[in-house]
């Protein structure tokens, strides 16, 4: 699928709703970046986006980034140091597998919503919601390299 077609098929309101629903039960923060650029190393590109978005500045260092490059058919799920200290890398395996399967089946928005939901459940175990539970990071889908790219700063 062409990158522009992929971007056009994403249901941003549904994805944002899933992020908000997931974050309602955790102090963790979830962001999604979809890039129109090829990312041969999605982990390195994802960490660059993670820092650019200021995700390392959450109170508990429990931000999670889903970084997706449709043009290179790659993605990464990255969590800040607080998450790795609490749960380790295996926390992402079920979410990554759900995303891989959903993307292969062409269920783009549904795959991202399922992935966000799984990440939310995993975060809830280690970082339950607090009172108050501020939204430390914006919930919108960030589109890198596209004309409608929002400035995350």
Domain that residue 85 falls in: 3-142
pLDDT tens digit sequence for 14-70: 999 999 999 999 999 999 999 988 898 999 999 999 999 999 999 999 999 999 998
Separation between Cα atoms, residue 104 and residue 110, nearest integer Å:
12
Could you tell me if residue 113 is inside a domain?
yes
The answer to whether the beta carbons of residues 19 and 139 sit under 8 Å apart is yes
**CATH at residue 31:** 3.10.310.50
Average pLDDT over residues 100-105: 89
The answer to whether the beta carbons of residues 83 and 61 sit under 8 Å apart is yes
* Number of domains composing the chain: 1
Could you tell me if residue 54 is inside a domain?
yes
Q: pTM to 2 decimals?
A: 0.90
Could you tell me if residue 119 is inside a domain?
yes
* 124's tokens: 């809830």
Please return the burial class of 132, using the count of CB atoms within 10 Å of its CB with bins 0-12, 13-18 and 19+. exposed
């Amino acid at each position: 699928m062409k990158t522009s077609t992929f971007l056009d098929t994403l249901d941003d309101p549904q994805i944002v709703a899933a992020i908000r629903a997931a974050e309602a039960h955790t102090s963790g923060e979830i962001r999604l970046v979809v890039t129109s650029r090829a990312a041969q190393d999605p982990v390195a590109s994802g960490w660059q986006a993670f820092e650019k978005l200021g995700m390392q500045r959450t109170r508990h260092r429990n931000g999670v980034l889903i970084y997706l490059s449709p043009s290179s058919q790659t993605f990464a799920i990255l969590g800040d140091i607080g998450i790795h200290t609490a749960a380790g890398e295996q926390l992402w395996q079920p979410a990554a597998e759900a995303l891989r399967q959903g993307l292969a089946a062409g269920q783009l928005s549904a795959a991202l919503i399922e992935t966000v939901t799984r990440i939310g459940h995993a975060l809830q175990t280690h970082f339950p919601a607090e009172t108050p539970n501020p939204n430390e990071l914006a919930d919108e889908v960030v589109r890198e390299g596209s004309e409608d790219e929002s400035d995350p700063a």
